[in-house]
Structure 1
């Protein structure tokens, strides 16, 4: 039994996690109070009580402070743990909605600020495309293993990219409308639209 238990992170890993968290919290505080354009590496470092070189070492691109977190490895693990016979789209729905629900519960203000900046700041929106590609690679590996394909299989890549791209667009839609709607319901609707074969019927 002990061999199957996840190893506790080392002291070094725990310190790195705390440092990353401190940098993120400081960045969100500054962005909320003063606007993203005024948030410099030096100001982040001072607010997080670390050196500027530490900020750059953990986040070489400033926008990554907003857009990356430790949820990607967890989503990959959750995806691998889904029931073997479950449709891949339903598996992705479950793990992504779970991750978004956790973010809204744990960091509601940060999640809403990040969505607003995605709409307002071109650099954040552009970097989001790159970080989404990284997430897609992780999830594609898990989907490939579950379906007996390879991670670079065209259908696996297109499937994963299409789902994540659609969910990203739903998040932008949420942000553009003032973040008042239920984001989870919007994401759920988005997956339903994909599952329906991307037909667009005329409303009565």
Structure 2
């Protein structure tokens, strides 16, 4: 008999959280470079194989849950009267406003470590490039008339560039990002 989907998802969330918290503690105590996946797995009471089912590399532990697909889905569903930039602000507020206290805490710790650990800086770049691509695709749904991919990519790149600038060394910049996006929106609006 299979277990209910809700229970399975809760177990996955608990395992992911246990792995991340064990990693955060070990990184803080002995440093990122000196911490092995095997040590993280042991501290989280899982196997290294289980670790790799949740995270493809050690550095990935630092990335919060991938909020980008959720934000982009909310972006696509945002009220049509909003500009693309205001729609992104709306979407981010929807997603981040719905985080549990535990998720918010873990995301904050992971983001702080992400900016402190030089070996992980490449992940930041990868995440922002992925976000540009997701927004580029989603922008097609935000305009009434067709737009070419280059135009959408430029707008997505500008949005993500503003987000990157506001978020740099500022974990969960809940006030800085909307303020920065508002500046961009004001400068782009006729």
Aligned to 2:181: 191
Root mean square deviation of aligned Cα: 3.0
* Partner Cα distance (1:91, 1:129) in 2: 23
Unmatched tracts of structure 2, length 5 or more:
none
| Correspondence 1:65-104 to 2 at 5 A | 65-102=61-98
Higher relative contact order at CA 8 Å, sep ≥6: structure 1 or structure 2? Answer: 2
Q: TM-score, normalised by structure 2?
A: 0.78
Q: How far did residue 104 of structure 1 move?
A: 8.7
CA contact (8 A) 2:115 2:169 kept: no
Preserved contact between residue 115 and residue 171 of structure 1 (Cα < 8 Å): no
Distance change >3 Å, CA 53–CA 173, structure 1 → 2: closer
Structure 1 gaps, min length 5 = 1-7, 199-204
Q: CA deviation at 1:43?
A: 1.2
Q: Provide the C-alpha distance between the structure 2 equivalents of 1:194 and 1:98, rounded to a whole number of angstroms.
A: 20
- Alignment pair present for 1:42 and 2:38: yes
Aligned equivalents of 1:170, 1:195: Cα separation in 2: 15
Contact 2:64 2:110 in 1 (8 A): no
Displaced runs of 4 or more, over 6 A: none
